[in-house]
Amino acid sequence: MFFLKSILKLLQRDKENKMRNLTKEQKTLLNRQVGATSVDDMSTIDFEELEELNEYETLWSDANRYLSDNYFANQIKKDW
């Protein structure tokens, strides 16, 4: 019983420590995607590198949002 409790505790701690947001390295990689408004505009190799850095359930969605926000923020700056 003690063994099972120890394993469950370790699994819970691992789950809590896993980062579920874009890391600084991932944002740097996304910033290099000039003109990309979504993950679909990235090469497969770049997206695989993004996954290798920190893969989690909502990575695709977070990366899409980040690329879109950056693209439109840069467009607004250009218009002024």
Residue for token pair 């019983």: 1
Q: Is 46 exposed, middle or buried (0-12, 13-18, 19+ CB in 10 A)?
A: middle
Q: How confident is the model at residue 75 (pLDDT cuts 50, 70, 90)?
A: confident
pLDDT tens profile 22-53: 999 999 999 999 889 999 999 999 999 999 99
- Please report the pLDDT score of residue 70 as a whole number: 92
The two three-digit tokens of residue 75, written as one number: 């467009």
Q: What are phi and psi of 8, to 5 degrees?
A: -60, -40
**What predicted TM-score, i.e. pTM, was given to this entire model?**
0.72
Query: What's the confidence (pLDDT) of residue 54?
Result: 92
Residue 41 corresponds to which amino acid?
Answer: D
Cα(34)–Cα(10) distance, integer angstroms: 41
pLDDT bracket for residue 77 (50, 70, 90): confident
- Residue appearing with tokens 């600084």: 24
